[in-house]
Amino acid sequence: MLTVAAARPIPYTFDPATTALLVIDMQRDFLEPGGFGESLGNDVGQLRRTIAPLTRLLAAARAAGLTVVHTREGHLPDLSDCPPAKLNRGLPSKRIGDPGPKGRILVRGEYGHDIVDELAPLPGEPVVDKPGKGAFHATGLDALLTERTIHSLLVTGVTTEVCVHTTVREANDRGYECLVLADCVGSYFPEFHRVGLDMIAAQGGIFGWVADSTDVLAVLP
């Protein structure tokens, strides 16, 4: 067992054999200059700062033999898996399925929907395509983790208060112990990022733990 002593609100203990590194939605459309996220007026720099620490953590997790799971938010080309309540949201002409700067917005198979080159999955690493904000909703993630006897998750990706938060809440209710890596998650809104992390660790760790990736790197074999 390994212990991240600096985690808040209390030290986080995990067994690498039953722990997965979860990399949420590190997609070009959210992170790259000229992508969908930036076209909405967002500062992608707030998200891009996660790439370097996450690259280091990913390398260490792979070297330590942890399961690595990537997710992507997106929909089938006919949008049959996108509820109207989601489809009708957003600015007109910049909605899911509309042509975007890097292909149709949040549609599977489009260039912008895929993961940034720096964090490309290795052959054999599961990539979970999800239609929702949470990675457990309408996906095989729970079954995949159960099959591998995973019950601890090191959670990274974007955005802190949207897909990361939703996934951590879903995971918490399913019995997973989540450590969220503060420098490896990001939001377009710094205030939401800060408060989002505080919300996870508050009340004795109501949704999990929070630490920096360097705290994990220090204990990984």
**Site residues, ligand TIU (CB under 6 A):** 25, 73, 158-159, 162-163
Q: How far is the CB of 97 from ligand TIU (least distance, A)?
A: 14
Pick from 87, 71, 58: nearest CA to 166: 71
Closest CB to ligand TIU among 15 and 137? 137
Q: How far is the CB of 219 from ligand TIU (least distance, A)?
A: 28
94 among known catalytic residues: no
The residue from 29, 129, 130, 133 that is catalytic is 130
130 among known catalytic residues: yes
Closest CB to ligand TIU among 16 and 112? 112
Tokens of 171: 């995971």
Closest CB to ligand TIU among 25 and 215? 25
Closest CB to ligand TIU among 66 and 72? 72
The residue from 163, 178, 184, 215 that is catalytic is 163
Output the CA–CA distances (angstroms, integers) from residue 55 to 2, 107, 152, in the order listed: 21, 25, 20
Decide: 50 and 184 in contact? Cβ < 8 Å: yes
Cα–Cα distance for residue pair 3/156, rounded to 1 Å: 18
> Is the dihedral angle over the CA atoms 211, 214, 219, 221 positive or is it negative?
positive
Q: How far is the CB of 95 from ligand TIU (least distance, A)?
A: 12
Q: How far is the CB of 25 from ligand TIU (least distance, A)?
A: 4
Question: What residues are labeled active site?
Answer: 25, 130, 163
